[in-house]
């Protein structure tokens, strides 16, 4: 095959299906035949004209599962035929100061898959080896795709808590991130609280692992958390600063608000809520590729599974719109072989 299909996007949602020439991978890169690619809300950076140069064509998608079919010069640890994943961070450089100190997430010379370098709305993707994660055989490829971003973000976010087993941990929002965070938190041994709008979501929240449920439309969330003893941590997944702001007052002493959802509006907090109780608000982006391997192994061991809707690659624009509308339950995934 001399070419492969890919969906490029320019401007605001100008998707175009193109044929691209198949080339050999560059040094320290591999070429991956894409099997599945999840659709994430962060894809708006590419599709909504939010890049530095939105008229430059880019292929979105950063929850990529596929098989290596070619390796570039200098590649020694990866072989043709391996099933791998590529997440949002496209591979660290090893040379900048954060990398030299082991902080690979904050590498200063790291592309963002599907935003600054081509991603997985395609049959083929090229990837730095430092951005690859191995996919266990017992994780289905379609389910592995969302775990590479939504899963990694929530799993590694929970690693920031540093709380004892049995501590009260709340998850705000039951969506693409939150439905996984509930499962991880329960499997890590926490007393889990789900926070969402409306009572109709309570049965699902409990099915996913919640011991307690707070309806934010009927209850004062901070008071409800304090009635339960105060949260050691709240994992905030909803893309709303206004909905995150009241959560700080629900934290126990030394509690942490871990912010995963990117919101357009700010979080507002009374400084007294931070000072009295030594509370913390902490942003968290994602983890490293080796963290992703830990995440996938943990997910397989504990039966953590994303709820997905699968679309053929030919319907990528439709699947993106479905995600953006909030209609996906809970992650949309493209199948590249269709």
Q: How far apart are CA 114 and CA 116, in angstroms?
A: 6
- Structural class in CATH, domain 161-283: alpha beta
User: Starting from the edge strand earliest in sequence, which strands make up the sheet with 191-196, in order?
Assistant: 212-215, 191-196, 168-172, 231-236, 251-259, 280-283
What mean pLDDT do residues 298-326 have? 97
pLDDT in tens, 101-151: 999 999 999 999 999 999 999 999 999 999 999 999 999 999 999 999 999
Reference 336, options 65, 86, 72; nearest CA is 65
- Confidence tier at 162 by pLDDT (50, 70, 90): confident
pLDDT of residue 99: 98
Which residues, 6+ apart, have CB-to-CB distance to 292 below 8 Å? 85, 87, 133, 147, 148, 152
Q: How large is the average pLDDT for residues 271-287?
A: 97
pLDDT, position 269: 96
pLDDT in tens, 37-71: 999 999 999 999 999 999 999 999 999 999 999 99
User: Contact, 306 vs 330, CB < 8 A?
Assistant: yes
The reported pTM is 0.96
Question: Residue 118 has what pLDDT?
Answer: 98
Question: Where do the DSSP E strands lie in the chain?
Answer: 3-10, 14-21, 29-39, 63-71, 83-86, 124-128, 132-134, 168-172, 191-196, 212-215, 231-236, 251-259, 280-283, 308-312, 331-335
C-alpha distance from residue 143 to each of 36, 63, 309 (Å): 9, 10, 10
- Please give the torsion angle defined by the CA atoms of residues 258, 174, 7 and 84, in that order, rounded to the nearest 10 degrees: 70
Tally of CB atoms within 10 A around 272: 9
What pLDDT is recorded for position 337? 76
**Which CATH superfamily groups domain 3-152+287-335?**
Medium-chain alcohol dehydrogenases, catalytic domain (3.90.180.10)
Q: Do 178 and 237 touch, CB atoms closer than 8 A?
A: yes
Residue 108 CA to chain centroid, in angstroms? 20
For residue 277, is pLDDT > 90? yes
Q: Is the pLDDT of residue 270 over 70?
A: yes
Instruction: Indicate the average pLDDT of the chain.
Output: 97
Q: Range(s) for CATH 3.90.180.10 in the chain?
A: 3-152+287-335
Percent of the chain, pLDDT > 70?
A: 99
Q: What is the pLDDT of residues 209-245, one digit of tens each?
A: 999 999 999 999 999 999 999 999 999 999 999 999 9
- Calculate mean pLDDT across residues 249-257: 98
Q: Dihedral angle at the C-alpha atoms of 325, 40, 187, 300, nearest 10 degrees? A: 120
Q: Give the pLDDT score at 279.
A: 98
The dihedral sign for the CA sequence 65, 68, 71, 75: positive
What pLDDT does residue 136 have?
96
CATH 3.40.50.720 placement within the chain: 161-283
pLDDT at 338: 58
């Amino acid at each position: 095959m001399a070419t492969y299909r890919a969906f490029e996007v320019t401007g605001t949602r100008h998707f175009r299906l193109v044929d691209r020439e198949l080339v050999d991978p560059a040094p320290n890169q591999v070429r991956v035949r894409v099997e599945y690619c999840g659709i994430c809300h962060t894809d708006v950076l590419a599709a909504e004209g939010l890049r530095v140069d939105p008229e430059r064509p880019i292929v979105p998608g950063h929850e990529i599962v596929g098989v290596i079919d070619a390796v570039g010069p200098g590649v020694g640890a990866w072989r043709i035929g391996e099933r791998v994943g590529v997440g949002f961070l496209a591979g660290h450089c090893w040379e900048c100061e954060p990398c030299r100190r082991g902080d690979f997430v904050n590498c200063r010379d790291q592309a963002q898959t599907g935003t600054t370098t081509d991603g997985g709305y395609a049959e083929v993707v090229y990837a730095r080896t430092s951005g690859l994660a191995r996919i266990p055989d017992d994780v289905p490829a379609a389910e592995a795709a969302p775990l590479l971003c939504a899963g990694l973000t929530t799993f590694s976010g929970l690693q920031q808590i540093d709380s004892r087993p049995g501590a009260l941990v709340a998850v705000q929002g039951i969506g693409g991130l939150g439905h996984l965070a509930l499962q991880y938190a329960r499997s890590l041994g926490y007393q889990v609280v789900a926070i969402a709008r409306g009572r109709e979501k309570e049965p699902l929240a409990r099915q996913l692992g919640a011991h307690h449920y707070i309806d934010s439309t009927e209850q004062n969330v901070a008071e409800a958390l304090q009635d339960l003893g105060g949260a050691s941590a709240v994992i905030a997944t909803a893309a709303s600063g206004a909905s995150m702001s009241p959560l700080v007052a629900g934290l126990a002493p030394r509690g942490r608000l871990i912010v995963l959802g990117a919101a357009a509006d700010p979080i507002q907090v009374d400084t007294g809520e931070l000072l009295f109780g030594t509370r913390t608000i902490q942003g968290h982006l994602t983890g490293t590729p080796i963290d992703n391997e830990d995440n996938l192994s943990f997910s397989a061991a504990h039966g953590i599974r994303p709820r997905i809707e699968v679309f053929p690659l030919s319907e990528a624009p439709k699947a993106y719109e479905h995600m953006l509308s909030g209609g996906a339950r809970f992650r949309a995934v493209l199948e590249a072989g269709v």
